[in-house]
């Protein structure tokens, strides 16, 4: 059990060393000459919701990460319950999701952004996640089998790989140079909060009255995540219309 944790720690150490020696400072000295007094981050998150464009982006990103966190919490329990998978099988599934994310973000994302723009990719990505989170808990050995599971997870991975970077890109483009750190800090702080909220929601929904898990608790857990993504999709559609009206 300790080996994966030590391996992750080694990767984190290598990442920290690389960041310290390789990553350049993005801000010029003149930009950082004056720092306004910082507010409490929770206050900044709440206040950001009042900003017309960034508020929508922040809310959609929070909802997306919340829904995805519910899925990651419940997924290994779902595959163990329905398919009898062990940690090795689930490792292969998450690697499969990761490969699809690499292909989508590394090779397709920039081309799609150039052609369609971030707001449309956000809306499409959210919609794909709505559909996949609704359909995946219906899959089992006798209802679609492994092929349906792989297809559903591919749709989920593509949706997340479109919407998530598009949201951060749009937030970055909407902020001026001196405000980049604050904007991305608020966005990622909201995402960190979502990673707390998601598993809490998932844990409550997945547990039944007998302190166990059954088909109905699986459905309500994934369908709650799907409903959260549907709200995010509505926000993404609003953001799309807002950007189009601004461009016009």
pLDDT value at residue 219 = 95
Domain boundaries, the chain: 45-247
CA distances from 190 to 26, 41, 133, 174, 195 (A): 23, 9, 22, 17, 9
Cβ contacts of residue 44 below 8 Å, gap of 6+? 182, 186, 189
Lowest mean pLDDT among 58-62, 117-121, 175-179: 175-179
3-state secondary structure of 32: helix
DSSP 86: -
What does the alpha-carbon distance between residue 88 and residue 92 come to, in Å, rounded to a whole number?
6
3-state secondary structure of 52: helix
Average pLDDT over residues 138-157: 94
Instruction: Specify whether domain 45-247 bears CATH 1.20.1250.20.
Output: yes
| Model pLDDT for residues 4-26, shown as the tens digit of each residue | 999 999 999 999 999 999 988 76
| Model pLDDT for residues 88-102, shown as the tens digit of each residue | 999 999 999 999 999
65, 195 contact by CB (below 8 A): yes
pLDDT tier at 27, thresholds 50, 70, 90: low
What does the alpha-carbon distance between residue 94 and residue 81 come to, in Å, rounded to a whole number?
17
DSSP 40: P
Residue 35: pLDDT over 60:
no
């Amino acid at each position: 059990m300790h080996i994966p944790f030590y391996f992750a720690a080694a990767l984190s150490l290598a990442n920290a060393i690389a960041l310290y020696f390789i990553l350049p400072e993005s801000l010029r000295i003149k930009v950082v000459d004056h720092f306004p007094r910082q507010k409490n981050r929770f206050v900044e998150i709440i206040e950001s919701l009042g900003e017309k464009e960034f508020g929508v982006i922040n809310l959609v990103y929070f909802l997306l990460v919340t829904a995805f966190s519910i899925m990651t919490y419940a997924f290994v329990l779902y595959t163990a319950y329905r398919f009898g998978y062990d940690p090795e099988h689930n490792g292969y599934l998450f690697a499969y999701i990761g490969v699809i994310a690499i292909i989508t973000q590394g090779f397709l994302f920039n081309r799609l952004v150039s052609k369609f723009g971030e707001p449309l990719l956000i809306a499409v990505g959210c919609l794909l996640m709505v559909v996949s989170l609704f359909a995946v808990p219906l899959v089992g050995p006798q209802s679609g089998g492994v092929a349906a599971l792989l297809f559903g997870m591919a749709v989920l991975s593509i949706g997340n790989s479109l919407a998530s970077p598009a949201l951060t890109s749009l937030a970055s483009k909407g902020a001026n140079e001196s405000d980049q750190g604050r904007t991305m800090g608020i966005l990622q702080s909201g995402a960190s909060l979502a990673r707390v909220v998601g598993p809490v929601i998932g844990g409550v929904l997945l547990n039944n009255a007998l302190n166990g898990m059954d088909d109905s608790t699986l459905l309500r857990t994934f369908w709650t995540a799907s409903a959260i993504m549907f709200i995010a999709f509505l926000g993404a559609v609003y953001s799309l219309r807002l950007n189009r009206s601004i461009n016009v």
